[in-house]
Amino acid sequence: GENVEQHPSTLSVQEGDSAVIKCTYSDSASNYFPWYKQELGKRPQLIIDIRSNVGEKKDQRIAVTLNKTAKHFSLHITETQPEDSAVYFCAARGFQKLVFGTGTRLLVSP
Amino acid sequence: GAGVSQSPSNKVTEKGKDVELRCDPISGHTALYWYRQSLGQGLEFLIYFQGNSAPDKSGLPSDRFSAERTGGSVSTLTIQRTQQEDSAVYLCASSPSPGTSGGEQYFGPGTRLTVT
């Protein structure tokens, strides 16, 4: 089955800096790669996703890139703000269940 | 429209008692997942239902845990003879069938279980 690895486990940046979180997956049949943000005490919320027919997708300050050959995908947050502080989860899915990474705790300091 | 709902939102139970947690998925979603999340930890997969297929139970931590999904909609997670280490937030999520054009997974608000 699918296996998703996520790095780093924690990431501290200064406000205004960029943050990058990386994930790798094992199943070459996976074709859907969402990213979730979980704020303290709340449920995970989908923030952006990408499908295997595109290599990059942007939404304001966040972007996701996908390299199907290398089986890795990344989340990029530019101009970070304190409200970006949260735990971020990547995930991958083909025609079976969605599999999550272990999460990255992002702390943005003012 | 209505999102994923879970009940109860909080449950306190004594060690050794059985508990049932309920999940109402988004209407029309064929896939339903249960996860467990301990404080400050990641999402621990428990069980996955997809349509009429046999559920993927590979994440259930012991035979004290079971789940069913009736009529392809509502799901109940049952924990028998609860232990203190079962204390966590139990999250339910649903999504359309894998491979459909959408496919986004939506989480419910969770049930916080405390075993005393």
Question: Which residue does chain B place closest to A39, by CA atoms?
Answer: B40
Q: Provide the sign of the torsion angle of the four alpha carbons B2, A43, B6, B35, taken in this order.
A: positive
In A, what residues contact B, Cβ < 8 A?
A: 32, 34, 43-46, 49, 89, 91, 93-103
pLDDT in tens, B52-99: 899 999 999 999 999 999 887 999 999 999 999 999 999 999 998 766
Residues of chain B found within 8 Å of residue A44, distances taken between Cβ atoms: 43, 91, 107
Query: Which of A43, A93, A95 lies closest to B108 in CB terms?
Result: A43
| pLDDT tens readout for residues B1-42 | 589 999 999 999 999 999 999 999 999 899 999 999 999 899
**Token pair of A26 as six digits:** 């094992």
Range list of H helices, B14-110:
none
Residues of A in contact with B107 (CB under 8 A): 43-45
**Residues A81, A87, A92, A96, CA torsion sign:** negative
Lowest mean pLDDT among A67-81, B33-47, B53-67, B100-114: B100-114
Confidence of residue B104 (pLDDT cuts 50, 70, 90): confident
Give phi and psi for B86, each to the nearest 5.
Answer: -80, -10
pLDDT at B1: 59
Q: Which of A4, A32, A102 to mutate to test the interface with B (most CBs of B within 10 A)?
A: A32
Distances (CA, A) of A73 to A35, A39, A47, A97, B104: 10, 22, 15, 18, 17
Distance of alpha carbon A68 from alpha carbon A76, whole angstroms: 17
Cβ–Cβ of A43/B98 closer than 8 Å?
no
**Mean pLDDT across A95-99:** 84
The minimal CB distance from B43 to the residues A95, A96, A100 is found for A100
Instruction: Mark yes or no for CB contact A98/B107 under 8 Å.
Output: no
Calculate what percentage of chain A has a pLDDT beyond 90. 86
B42/A100 Cβ within 8 A: yes
- Taking contacts as CB-CB distances below 8 angstroms, the residues of chain A near B48 are 97
Residue B102 has pLDDT above 70, yes or no: no
Alpha carbons B47 and B65: distance in angstroms, whole number? 10
Q: Please give the pLDDT value at position B52.
A: 86
CB–CB contact B107 A43 (8 Å): yes
